[in-house]
């Protein structure tokens, strides 16, 4: 399987913004931590985009997202991501495990959710909200649930569903 992984932007910084492309192969009911009081959110089969930022440690954050908790096998794209990050001058240690922290962690930890793409831009500018807003303006891109994936960006949603055929 070939993954879509692109690293671009200002070559002087170690931080940046990113979009994760997640493919869900079976219908899920995911509890996204304390979001909506811990009530499960229906996640239909399909493609999803998550917009995030790591203005200090982009490589570490991306590799963390490609790792599952409890020592389970990482996402298939992780090895390729390691190589692309190193080639871009962003080497990082591989996490061996992770604690679920961000909303997207709960989705990425599901066996039927696979990280199939990463687009990252090295920048010191906080562009996460602008990027999420732009994506939601595109036809067929809608929030999975209002406020999901953006607990630090009130009124926004950074976990987006892409309608099939888009």
- Locate all alpha helices (DSSP H) within the chain, ordered by sequence: 58-65, 78-87, 103-108, 128-136
Question: Considering the entire predicted model, what is its pTM?
Answer: 0.91
Tokens of 5: 């992984």
Residue-wise pLDDT tens digits, 89-110:
887 888 877 899 989 999 999 9
Query: How far apart are the C-alpha atoms of 52 and 62, rounded to whole Å?
Result: 10
Collect contacts of 34-41 with beta carbons under 8 A, ≥24 apart. 35/103, 35/145, 35/147, 35/148, 35/151, 36/145, 41/144, 41/145, 41/148
112-157 pLDDT, tens digit each: 999 999 999 988 888 889 999 999 999 999 999 988 876 666 666 8
CA distance 165 to 158: 21
């Amino acid at each position: 399987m070939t993954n879509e992984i692109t690293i671009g932007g200002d070559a002087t910084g170690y931080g940046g913004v990113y979009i994760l492309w997640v493919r869900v192969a079976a219908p899920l009911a995911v509890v996204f931590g304390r979001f909506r009081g811990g009530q499960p959110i229906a996640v239909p089969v399909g493609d999803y985009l998550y917009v995030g930022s790591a203005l200090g440690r982009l490589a570490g954050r991306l590799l963390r997202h490609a790792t599952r908790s409890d020592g389970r096998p990482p996402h298939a794209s992780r090895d390729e991501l390691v190589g692309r990050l190193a080639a871009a001058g962003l080497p990082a240690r591989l996490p061996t495990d992770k604690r679920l922290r961000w909303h997207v962690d709960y989705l990425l930890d599901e066996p039927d959710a696979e990280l199939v793409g990463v687009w990252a831009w090295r920048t010191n500018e906080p562009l996460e909200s602008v990027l999420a807003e732009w994506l939601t303006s595109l036809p067929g891109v809608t929030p999975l649930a209002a406020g999901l994936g953006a607990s630090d960006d009130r009124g926004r949603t950074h976990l987006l569903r892409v309608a099939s055929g888009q």
